[in-house]
Structure 1
Amino acid sequence: MSIPGATNIDHVAYTVPDLDQAVAFFTNILGADLIYREGPIHDPHGDRMTQQLNVHPTASCRIAMLRLGPVTNLELFQYEAPGQRRLLPANSDWGGHHLAFHVTDIEAAAHYLSRQPGVRLLGSPRTVDDGPIAGNRWVYFLTPWGMQMELVQASPALPYESTTRARRYGPAPAWHDCVNAVRTTDSPEAHHA
């Protein structure tokens, strides 16, 4: 069973403390393309924000949509709202999260990130020794505002593949090698920041 008519994940979304900082980080450091910006969005005299977004009725937000590689759209929100919690969840908290990037050379990617202002690697790349993804390499890192992310370098053959026909997606073609192979937005605001 699945959602009727479902074809793919459209986007993932995160709320960030400073939209301009986050857009600059994703475009200038991680290679995303900015598709559009929107907002402020608010409903000062109604309850649309609560009914449609599950936030305080007087909340206001600005949004940016970015493209990360061939298959991932990333929506970033910056909210202003009464009673707003301004702490990022730990991975172990309910709502904890991270965004993982597949790379072909984890050592080179980790070295690159370690030289970026405000980025903090959480250790050095590790290899998974056993289990369904034995052979994969990984390392977590934090963005300048503290959002958790991960680098992953996949092993060419993984143990779980012998037990199921299902497969994880990837690796995909290099991000900018596939720009012309997928639908893009040709609007005036669609540009690489």
Structure 2
Amino acid sequence: MAIPGLKKPDHIGFTVPNLDLAIAFFRDHFEFELAYEFGPFAADDNWMADHLNVNPRAEITKIAVMNAKGINLEIFEYADTVDRNQTAPNNADIGGHHLAFYVEDMTAAVTYLKQQGIEVLGEPTVMTEGPTEGESWVYFMAPWGMQLELVSYPNGKAYARHSSVALFDPR
């Protein structure tokens, strides 16, 4: 049984070292829109630990919420007031993650990233067999070290021919 009243994902939240840089990155390269910002936020008791699973003395400097064309981004910037990990996890780390963006033309998108000085990890991988046959993908890095991905599958993916489950399709 699922959570009563469950609908769809609302937002993806993540922490960055510089909120203004993150807002500009997503605005300038993805055309995401800033809806609002708020903060700072901290507590003198255990609220931060009890509700956010962070050090009780952690301080959120500011939070920004952006419209990311189909889902919202909730982006946090914490003050350096307590010990915390200063590097983004990689895919092999527990909690490793990435955001993936669908593009119609992989070659044009990768060319754009490189022209903008954005680090692209290798060349696009083209899937020629298995459930993801028909998809191409490539990882790239946000300026603060967060992993991002471009994906493209203009003719769909092979899994759809055999599965009764239809995945969200941004095309």
Question: Which structure is richer in relative contact order (CA contacts within 8 A, separation 6 or more)?
Answer: 1
Q: Distance in 1 between matches of 2:159 and 2:78?
A: 41
Q: CA offset at residue 67 of structure 1?
A: 0.9
Q: Hey, what does 2:121 align to over in structure 1? A: 122
Q: CA offset at residue 146 of structure 1?
A: 1.1
Listed one character per residue, the Cα deviations across residues 136-169 of structure 1 (whole Å, up to 9, x for unaligned) are 0111100111110000001423221122221121
Q: CA offset at residue 37 of structure 1?
A: 0.4
Runs of at least 5 residues in structure 2 that lack an aligned partner in the other structure: none
Matches within 5 A, 1:79-90: 79-80=78-79, 81-90=81-90
Determine if the alignment matches structure 1 residue 101 to structure 2 residue 101.
Answer: yes
Q: CA offset at residue 73 of structure 1?
A: 0.5
Q: Hey, what does 1:184 align to over in structure 2? A: none
What code does the residue aligned with 2:47 have?
R
Q: Hey, what does 2:156 align to over in structure 1? A: 157
Q: Distance in 2 between matches of 1:98 and 1:158?
A: 20
Q: Distance in 2 between matches of 1:148 and 1:93?
A: 12
Listed one character per residue, the Cα deviations across residues 22-68 of structure 1 (whole Å, up to 9, x for unaligned) are 1110111221110110100111x211111111111111111100111
Decide whether the 8 Å contact of 2:139 with 2:150 is kept in 1.
yes
Q: Distance in 2 between matches of 1:154 and 1:94?
A: 28
Q: Hey, what does 1:168 align to over in structure 2? A: 167
Determine if the alignment matches structure 1 residue 111 to structure 2 residue 128.
Answer: no
TM-score, length basis structure 1: 0.84
Q: Distance in 1 between matches of 2:19 and 2:7?
A: 29
Q: Distance in 1 between matches of 2:140 and 2:156?
A: 25
Q: Hey, what does 2:14 align to over in structure 1? A: 14
Q: Distance in 2 between matches of 1:107 and 1:162?
A: 26
Q: Give the CA RMSD over aligned residues.
A: 1.2
TM-score, length basis structure 2: 0.94
Runs of at least 5 residues in structure 1 that lack an aligned partner in the other structure: 173-193
Q: CA offset at residue 103 of structure 1?
A: 0.6
Q: Distance in 2 between matches of 1:30 and 1:51?
A: 35
Decide whether the 8 Å contact of 2:135 with 2:156 is kept in 1.
no
Q: Hey, what does 1:189 align to over in structure 2? A: none
Matched residues, number: 169
What code does the residue aligned with 1:158 have?
K
Decide whether the 8 Å contact of 2:126 with 2:135 is kept in 1.
yes
Q: Distance in 2 between matches of 1:154 and 1:167?
A: 15
Decide whether the 8 Å contact of 2:36 with 2:64 is kept in 1.
yes
Decide whether the 8 Å contact of 2:119 with 2:140 is kept in 1.
yes
Decide whether the 8 Å contact of 2:104 with 2:154 is kept in 1.
no
Decide whether the 8 Å contact of 2:63 with 2:74 is kept in 1.
yes
